[in-house]
Amino acid sequence: MVTGHIFIASSLDGFIARENGDLDWLLKYEGAGEDHGYDAFIQDIDVIIMGRGTYEAVRKMGPWFYTRPVTVLSARLAQQKVPQELQGKVRFSDETPADVMARLSDEGARRAYVDGGAVIRSFLENQLISDMVLTRVPILLGAGRPLFGGASRDVALVHRETRSFPSGLVQSRYEVER
C-alpha cells in the first residue's frame, strides 16, 4: 500500500493560509536562502494528493511547478475537466482517502505527499499518514485556515528530530504511532 507523508508549514498559531487562502506571509521565507529539506523530501515522492483550496492557491502562484502527478480531492472539481495546460499532470477526484490510496497503490505508487489542511486531517483520521515534517513560521496570523483541529480521535506522534533555521523557522519531524 502507498504511504502518506506530510511536509507543511504553519504559522505559530497553527494556520496554513489566511482565511482567503493567501500565502503571502509564507512566501517571504521561500527566498531566505535556507534549505528547509523540501527538495530532498520530494525526491522520494511518487504522487501528490491535495485539496481544492491548496490547488487553487498553487494555481495563483504562477506556472505549475509540481513535477509529480497530482490528484486533487474535490467533489466540486471532480465534475469539471482538468484545464488544458494541466492535462496529464493533474487529476480531479471525489474518492475517499482510502479509495485514492488504494488506486494509487494499484498504479504502482509507493509514497504520496499529502497536502492541504482538510485533506491532511481526513488522511490522519483514516490512519493513512506515516510521518510528517511540520515547519513553524514565526508569525501569528490570528485567523486563517487551520492545519489541525476537529479530530474525532487522538493521533499519537513520535518525535524524531527538531531543527531551527537562522530565519526563525523551526522544523520538527514526527512519525505517526501505530
For 24-33, 54-63, 79-88, 132-141, which range has the lowest pLDDT when averaged over its residues?
Answer: 24-33
User: pLDDT-derived band of residue 84, with 50, 70 and 90 as boundaries?
Assistant: very high
**Segments making up each domain of the chain, as ranges:** 3-176
pLDDT at 67: 92
173: left (phi over 0), alpha (psi -120 to 50) or beta: beta
pLDDT at 108: 96
pLDDT at 31: 62
> Per-residue pLDDT tens for 123-161?
999 999 999 999 999 999 999 999 998 778 889 999 999
> Per-residue pLDDT tens for 7-46?
999 999 999 999 988 888 987 777 667 889 999 999 999 9
CATH number assigned to the domain covering 3-176:
3.40.430.10
Provide the pairing of β-strand 145-146 with 15-17.
antiparallel
**Which residues, at least 6 apart from 59, have a Cβ–Cβ distance to it below 8 Å?**
none
